[in-house]
C-alpha cells in the first residue's frame, strides 16, 4: 500500500488534505489535533514515523495580504468567490518526520492564524522538538503550550520583535546590546 | 628594527623605551578569537605551513590575562558584543587588537539584524585586515605591521611627563 493511503487510514478525519510534491507527501492536520495525529503516526505499525528531523515555521504574509483582497490577484477573482474563501492563516508550522525502519519521510503541516498564536508542544513525544520550537518561538513569536523551557534560542533575552516575520526589516530596528558590569547596575 | 646604543665587552647602553619595545614587539602573544570562517584561516596561519611563531606570536593564549594581541577573526553577532568587550577588558595592558576579515572590520556581507557592523565601535582596533577571508599571508602582513607599530610606541611617556612635572 502506498504511503498516502496508509497515512489517510492512520489519520482518518484528521487528515485535512494530503498533497504530493516531487514524491514527498505533505499532510495538513488541524492545529488542535496535532499531538494526537503525530502520536498516531509514530505508533501506527504500518508507518512508525519515530524520528523528528526538524520543525520549521513559515510566514505567509504576502499570500495572506493578497487573498485578503489588497493585492492584484484578489481583484481578478469573481466577487462571490472572494467572499466565500476564508482568509488563509498567516503562519504555518511544518514537522518533518522520518521512519528509521522504512526510511520513508513525511511532512506534517498545521496552520496558525495570527489571532491565536498558541500551539501544543510536541516535546512530550520527541524531546528533540525542544530547540526547534524555541527557535520558532524566538523568530516567529509562536507560543508552544507545554514546552519545558520556552525562551529565546538565537536572539538574546531582552530582544524585542521576531526577525523571521516578513514584516520585520532585514537590517533590524537598531537593536544593540551593551556590556553592563555589576557595579553599574547597582549605581 | 635594530636597537641603537653603545656597547663593549659585557655591557650595553640604550634607551629604556627601546628595550621595552624590543621585548614587546618580539613576543606579541595572540588571543585567537575565531568566531566564524576566518577562524579556519587563522588556524592555518598558526599551523606549521605558515608558522606564525616566526614572528614571535609563539604561543596562543587562551586566557585573556596572558595575551597581548586580540586576534578577532570572524563575524561578531550583536548577541556576542558584550562577550567581546568583556574579553578585551580582561586583557592586561599593553594590549592590541587585530580585526581580521571583512566581518570583523565592517560586518562584511551580513548587513542584517543579527550582525554587529564592525568591532571598532566596541573596542579600539589597531590593524584592519580586509578579505573574506584574508589569506594567511595577509594576516602575517598585518602582524608585521603591528610589530612595526609597537616599535614606534613610547611606553614611558606618561612616567616621563609625571617626573617632569614633579621637578
Ligand atoms: S570575512 Fe568572510 S571568511 Fe571572514 S568571517 Fe566574515 S564571512 Fe567568514
Q: Is residue A20 part of a domain?
A: yes
| Rounded distance between C-alpha atoms, residue B25 and residue B54, angstroms | 12
Q: Is residue A172 part of a domain?
A: no
Q: Using DSSP, state whether A18 is helix, strand or coil.
A: strand
Residue A136, all three cell numbers? 520558532
Q: Is residue A142 part of a domain?
A: no
Q: Is A171 on the interface with B (CB under 8 A)?
A: yes
Give the pLDDT of residue A65.
73
A171 to chain B, closest Cα gap in Å = 4
Report which secondary-structure segment, H or E, holds A36: helix A34-43
Burial B63-79 (b: 16+ CB within 10 A, else e): ebeebbbbbbbbbbbbb
Report CA B79 to chain centroid distance, whole Å: 23
* pLDDT under 70: residue ranges of chain B: 1
Q: Is residue A8 part of a domain?
A: yes
How distant, in Å, are the alpha carbons of A7, A56, A116, B23 from that of A110? 16, 11, 13, 66
Size of interface A-B (CB pairs under 8 A): 37
Q: pTM here?
A: 0.83
B118 lines ligand 1 (CB under 6 A): no
pLDDT tens digits, residue range B145-158? 999 999 999 988 88
Instruction: Give the position of cell 612595526.
Output: B148
Q: Is residue A143 part of a domain?
A: no
Give the pLDDT of residue B32.
93
Give the pLDDT of residue B109.
92
The whole domain housing A31 covers 3-133
Residue B156, all three cell numbers? 614611558
- CA count, 13 A, side-chain hemisphere, A39: 10
CA-nearest residue to A179 within chain B is: B82
The number of domains in chain A is 1
Among B82, B89, B114, the residue with its CB nearest the CB of A178 is: B82
Give the pLDDT of residue B159.
84
B127 and B105 Cβ atoms separated by less than 8 Å: no
Continuous H helices in B9-135: 16-25, 38-46, 81-90, 101-106
- Would the CA dihedral through A96, A90, A88, A113 be positive or negative? positive
Helix axes of B16-25 and B136-151: crossing angle, nearest 10 degrees:
170
Residue B29, all three cell numbers? 602573544
Q: Is residue A110 part of a domain?
A: yes
CATH number at residue A128: 3.30.460.80
* pLDDT under 50: residue ranges of chain A: 74
Q: Is residue A32 part of a domain?
A: yes
- CA count, 13 A, side-chain hemisphere, B40: 4
Q: Is residue A181 part of a domain?
A: no
Q: How is domain B27-166 classified at the architecture level of CATH?
A: 3-Layer(aba) Sandwich (3.40)
Instruction: Give strand ranges (E) for chain A.
Output: 17-21, 24-28, 51-59, 91-98, 105-112, 118-120, 143-145
Strands B96-100 and B69-73 turn out to be parallel
| Rounded distance between C-alpha atoms, residue B123 and residue A185, angstroms | 21
Amino acid at each position: 500500500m502506498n504511503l498516502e493511503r496508509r497515512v489517510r487510514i492512520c489519520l482518518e478525519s484528521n487528515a485535512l488534505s494530503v498533497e504530493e510534491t516531487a514524491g514527498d507527501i505533505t499532510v495538513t492536520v488541524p492545529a488542535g489535533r496535532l499531538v494526537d495525529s503525530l502520536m498516531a503516526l509514530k505508533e501506527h505499525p504500518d508507518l512508525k514515523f519515530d524520528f523528528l528531523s526538524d520543525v520549521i515555521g513559515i510566514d505567509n504574509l504576502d499570500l495572506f495580504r493578497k487573498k485578503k483582497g489588497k493585492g492584484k490577484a484578489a481583484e481578478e477573482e469573481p466577487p462571490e468567490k472572494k467572499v466565500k474563501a476564508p482568509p488563509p492563516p498567516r503562519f504555518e508550522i511544518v514537522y518533518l518526520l522520518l521512519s528509521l525502519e522504512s526510511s520513508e519521510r513525511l511532512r506534517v503541516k498545521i496552520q496558525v492564524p495570527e489571532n491565536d498564536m498558541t500551539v501544543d508542544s510536541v516535546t512530550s513525544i520527541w524531546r528533540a522538538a525542544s530547540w526547534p520550537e524555541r527557535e520558532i518561538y524566538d523568530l516567529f513569536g509562536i507560543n508552544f503550550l507545554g514546552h519545558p523551557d520556552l525562551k529565546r534560542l538565537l536572539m538574546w533575552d531582552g530582544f524585542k520583535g521576531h526577525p523571521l516575520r516578513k514584516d520585520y526589516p532585514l537590517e533590524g530596528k537598531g537593536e544593540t546590546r551593551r556590556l553592563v558590569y555589576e557595579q553599574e547596575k547597582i549605581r | 628594527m635594530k636597537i641603537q646604543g653603545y656597547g663593549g665587552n659585557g655591557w650595553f647602553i640604550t634607551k629604556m623605551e627601546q628595550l621595552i619595545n624590543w621585548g614587546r614587539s618580539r613576543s606579541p602573544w595572540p588571543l585567537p578569537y575565531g568566531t566564524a570562517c576566518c577562524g579556519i584561516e587563522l588556524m592555518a596561519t598558526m599551523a606549521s605551513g605558515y608558522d606564525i611563531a616566526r614572528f614571535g606570536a609563539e604561543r596562543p593564549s587562551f586566557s585573556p590575562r596572558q595575551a597581548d594581541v586580540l586576534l578577532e577573526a570572524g563575524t561578531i553577532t550583536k548577541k556576542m558584543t558584550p562577550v567581546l568587550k568583556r574579553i578585551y577588558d580582561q586583557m592586561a595592558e599593553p594590549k592590541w587588537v587585530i580585526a581580521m576579515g571583512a566581518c570583523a572590520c565592517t560586518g562584511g556581507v551580513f548587513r542584517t539584524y543579527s550582525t554587529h557592523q564592525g568591532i571598532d565601535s566596541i573596542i579600539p582596533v589597531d590593524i584592519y585586515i580586509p578579505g573574506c577571508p584574508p589569506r594567511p599571508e595577509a594576516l602575517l602582513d598585518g602582524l608585521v605591521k603591528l610589530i612595526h607599530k609597537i616599535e614606534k610606541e613610547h611606553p614611558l611617556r606618561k612616567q616621563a611627563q609625571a617626573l617632569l612635572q614633579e621637578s
